[in-house]
Structure 1
Amino acid sequence: MLLRWLLGLCVRCARVLRAPRHRNLRRPGTRVTAAPVDAIGRPVLGEPGGWRRHPMAMLTRWWVPRGVVRAVAVFAVLLTAALAGAPGALADALKDREWFLDAAHLNAAQAWPTSTGKGVTVAVVDTTGLDRNRAELTGSVVSSGTLTAAGELRDDGGSQGQFHATWAALLIAGHPDSPDGQQGLAPGAKIISVHIPESPASVADAIRYAVDHGARVVSLSLAFDFAPTGICESVRYAQEHDVIVVASAGNDGQAFNPKKWPSSCAGSIAAAGSDQHGQAWPQSESGPQIVLAAPAVDIPLVYSDPSTLTLSGTSFCAPLIAGEAAMLISAHPDWTSGQIIRAMIASASGGGKRIDDHLGYGVIDPVAALRAARPAERSNPLLLDAPSVKETQSASNRASASNRESASQATASQSAAQSGGIPLWVWAVVAVAVVGLGVLGLVIYRAAARR
């Protein structure tokens, strides 16, 4: 409706600009019907004389200087053009802005022919429920609901409008059928969603529930300032059952950088955040507990159709790392969880060497991980009593790291352009509006000054 009105305004303005002024070009002998006026000489709309048909013509001939009309016409055309591009931008926004899956970063398209995580179940433990009605999760959800005190999963009806757990599940296993949908790193994986009450103590029960119901990976986009009761014992329980636990490191890296749980539990993968260039996200927690990093900055996410959001946080790192783990388990079902973790560490951007306390062993690389040789050591390297990861870097890992760096540099400007939280078309509309109003104001000022 708005576009139709603006286009109509443009047409009317153009007709007025092309039309002659009657008082100057009236042919001799031609009868002209004057517009009726009120007591103080103002034209009256809707009366004979054609004013009902051409209100814009009446307006411009009686009240507004011709320069103002030109300014309005130009402004309307520019605004219409800007808005006309908006629907297309919305339709392609999510697909085009999922920078973390492109060839310069996680390179998902190259990894999918080898593995999509098919046959692997990932548990999403969160304080919100899962919107299992999302089209991108069709056929992917094994079960979802709220964990009760009795240790059972109560059906919550789909939890439509819940986003935190939904985002995590989509980043793991989303498989959209349109450009508007959210793509996950392991679209063939299955999801168990365990919604827990706000009580941190229930996290331990949720991990055990996930392990007992077939999850091979547990993703926790949670970070507590203290260790909830039994949390590390539950992480150890998962490891004893060959299940990988991935937990967000937290977002207080610039606010005293406190240790968080369950990412600080021995044996878990503490997921830190990286930016578009593979550098550490400053707000991500740092410390010796950090194991791997994944994209955390300007992550485009579905919201209320067709709206999207762009957010940053380590809540998005855990699902992506869990997705890579699912891909490796699917490709190597006979590997232990310890071997999977070792392959993930050896193939990260650090090439098996610990970079620092911000990135740990580096940013994950699914393609390199799927190409990694089977580790000889079967135990979890993150346990205190396990052999450490050998600080070696294969030629393939060096090549992968080099390709990642060069590709990242080549697309740095593109990533920066796509990373804003507000779509570019919105800024275009705002810019056109500001310029148009400025021109209109100047024309009116100059017209008033000549009187």
Structure 2
Amino acid sequence: MAVRDLTRRCLTVLAATALTAVGTTAVGAPTASAADTTQCTFPSKTPIKSLPWSLRRLRLEQLWQDTKGEGQRVAVIDTGVDNTNSQLTDAVDAAGGKNLLPLKPKKDRYGDATPRGKANGTSDYVGHGTKVAGIIAARPSKDNAFVGIAPKATVIPIKQNDDKGSGNAETLAAAINYAVQKRATVINISQDTEKALPDDNVLKRAVDNALNSDVVVVASAGNDGLGGNVKETYPAAYPGVLAVAASDRNNERAVFSQSGPFVGVAAPGVDMVSTVPKGGLCVDNGTSFSAPYVAGVAALIRAKHKDWTQHRVVTQIEQTAERSIPGRDNHVGWGVVDPVRAMNEEGGPTDRPVAQGGVSKGALPDVPDLPIGETPQQRDERLGTYAVAGGGVLVAVIAGAALVHRDWRRRRPVGWSARRDNVDHPV
């Protein structure tokens, strides 16, 4: 099963495309899309000093009041992670990384050869994996305000693809199995395929192995959503995987973001700032960068709730997402992820997310606790009685005041003026 490449000539990483299937066995290289592309040099020469919008929407001090992701190991299965960027040097487990591509360079039809890099996965000639890693766990810097969602988590760099699409379903499966072996608690996969392999296939078995090993698996939904295109992409659409769509600054689906019944949540994926190889920051777009935003949240939750299963972590993220409707839809799933609520709101469903009937956007019902022996239906009836009684009292007060005012107007002398007599006008 082919997977879309990451852009030819590697310095331009396609934000709005993640790896897409184009064949039957090869995992191809991402191609440029009309959605958006971002020119970026390695190192980046573009100064970005301000806090990115995707972080400004958060109350970071509240998000990190319990943990910053200590002890969590997040596998980034991608084009490698360049740890020469100072914001990633301490974040990357270089000893635990792996390059699953043959180290001998592969020549394309133009005769160009792409170097495969270091055996531990810390070479990234495309920049895609380095950006993904930064969104998850970039350390603070005195040179800019950008920081990862879980800035004390550890990244396991697993190089599985490049700009020529040298990966395939087997290497992707091997990367997932390697992440499990290296004790990853969260796996991020910012690539997708157009068509599903047969039910019994090496990729599906690897995903199931990760889930059965209690690993949270997060995958990008894909970037073929222009024109309302709805289709499943893999591995995002496999049961148990948290598929992430892209949202914009208005918390709406980004125009390129893939839609479908498999989408779990959405996360910022437009104008995403992150780290690039050899230093600096760059801006990019795509569900490739929405997925690591959610993977970082998953790392924070796992650090705070070490006894929670991967399934409960996913349920928490989906249940606390900011919604515009009570349930889910095919565009943003259960809503746009709300990291602060996911970290600080407890007591919700633990098995699967549920609809929030009659709830305004982003709010949970604010109802009193149940007294001992009272059922939810009895509580609702009691609250309804209070509302009706309170409304009746209010109507009576308003009506009485109106009668008093009418009688007063009838009894006052002709030509009387409140201003003339220097007294307050009765209400």
What's the TM-score bracket when you normalise by the shorter of the two chains? 0.5 to 0.7
Unaligned runs of 5+ in 1: 1-89, 382-388, 402-451
Residues 235, 352 of structure 1: CA spacing in aligned structure 2 closer, same or farther, 3 A cutoff?
A: farther
Letter in 2 for 1:312: N
Q: Distance in 2 between matches of 1:169 and 1:355?
A: 28
Q: What is the match of residue 136 of structure 2?
A: 172
1:93-104 pair list within 5 angstroms: 93-102=47-56
The structure-2 alpha-carbon separation of the partners of 1:273 and 1:239, relative to structure 1 and needing over 3 Å to count, comes to: same
Task: Output aligned runs, 1:9-408, within 5 Å.
Answer: 93-102=47-56, 105-126=57-78, 128-142=79-93, 143-147=96-100, 155-156=119-120, 158-159=122-123, 161-180=125-144, 182-197=146-161, 198-201=166-169, 202-227=171-196, 229-254=201-226, 256-303=229-276, 308-350=281-323, 353-375=326-348, 377=350, 379=351, 381=352, 389-392=353-356, 398-399=362-363
- For the 8 Å contact 1:352–1:390, the answer to whether it is kept is no
Task: Give the Å deviation of 1:366.
Answer: 1.2
For residues 351-408 of structure 1, give each alpha carbon's deviation from its aligned partner in whole angstroms, at most 9, with x where no partner exists: 994342111011111111112225564x5x4xxxxxxx2224799995589xxxxxxx
Q: Check 1:298–1:119 CA distance in 2 against 1; reply closer, same or farther (3 A cut).
A: same
1:182 Cα deviation after fit: 4.3
How many residue pairs end up in the alignment? 298
| CA deviation after TM superposition for structure 1 residue 306, in Å | 6.7
Distance 1:193 1:353, change over 3 A: farther
SS of 1:171's partner is helix
Q: Matched residues in 1 for 2:122 and 2:232: separation?
A: 33
C-alpha distance in 2 between matches for 1:173 and 1:392: 32
CA contact (8 A) 1:204 1:231 kept: yes
Q: Give the TM-score normalised by structure 1.
A: 0.60
> Is the alpha carbon distance of 1:148 and 1:374 closer, same or farther for their aligned partners in structure 2, counting shifts above 3 Å?
farther
* The structure with more radius of gyration: 1
Q: Which has the higher helix share?
A: 1
Deviation at 1:214, TM superposition (A): 0.5
Contact 2:132 2:274 in 1 (8 A): no
Aligned-partner Cα distance in 2 for 1:247–1:175:
23
Query: Judging changes above 3 Å, is the alpha-carbon distance between structure 1 residues 306 and 211 closer, same or farther for their aligned structure 2 residues?
Result: closer
CA distance in structure 1 between the partners assigned to 2:336 and 2:244 by the alignment = 10
- CA positional deviation for 1:176: 2.8
Mapped contact 1:273–1:280 kept (Cα < 8 A): yes
Paired letter, 2:168: P
Offset of residue 129 of structure 1: 1.5
Between the two proteins, what is the percent identity of the paired residues? 33
Q: Is the 8 A contact 2:81 2:123 kept in 1?
A: yes
Q: Is the 8 A contact 1:250 1:260 kept in 2?
A: yes
Structure 1's 132 and 162: CA in aligned 2 closer, same or farther, altered over 3 A? Answer: farther
How far residue 308 of structure 1 moved from its aligned partner, in angstroms, is: 4.2
Residue pair 1:130, 1:162 contacting (<8 A) in 2 also: no
Change (3 A) 1:182 1:131: farther
Give TM-score, length-normalised by structure 2.
Answer: 0.63
1:343 CA displacement: 1.1
Distance 2:143 2:135 in 1: 15
CA distance in 1, matches of 2:234, 2:224: 13
Cα distance change, pair 168–356 in 1 and its aligned pair in 2 (3 A): same
Give 3-state SS (helix, strand or coil) of 2:233's partner: coil
Structure 1 position 181, deviation (Å):
7.0
Q: CA deviation at 1:258?
A: 3.5
Larger RCO, structures 1/2 (Cα 8 Å, 6+ apart): 2
Give the drift of 1:337: 1.2
Q: Alpha carbons of 1:269 and 1:352: their partners in 2 closer, same or farther (altered >3 Å)?
A: farther
**Counterparts of 1:322 and 1:183 in 2: how far apart (Å)?**
14
Cα distance change on mapping 1:375 and 1:399 into 2, 3 Å = closer
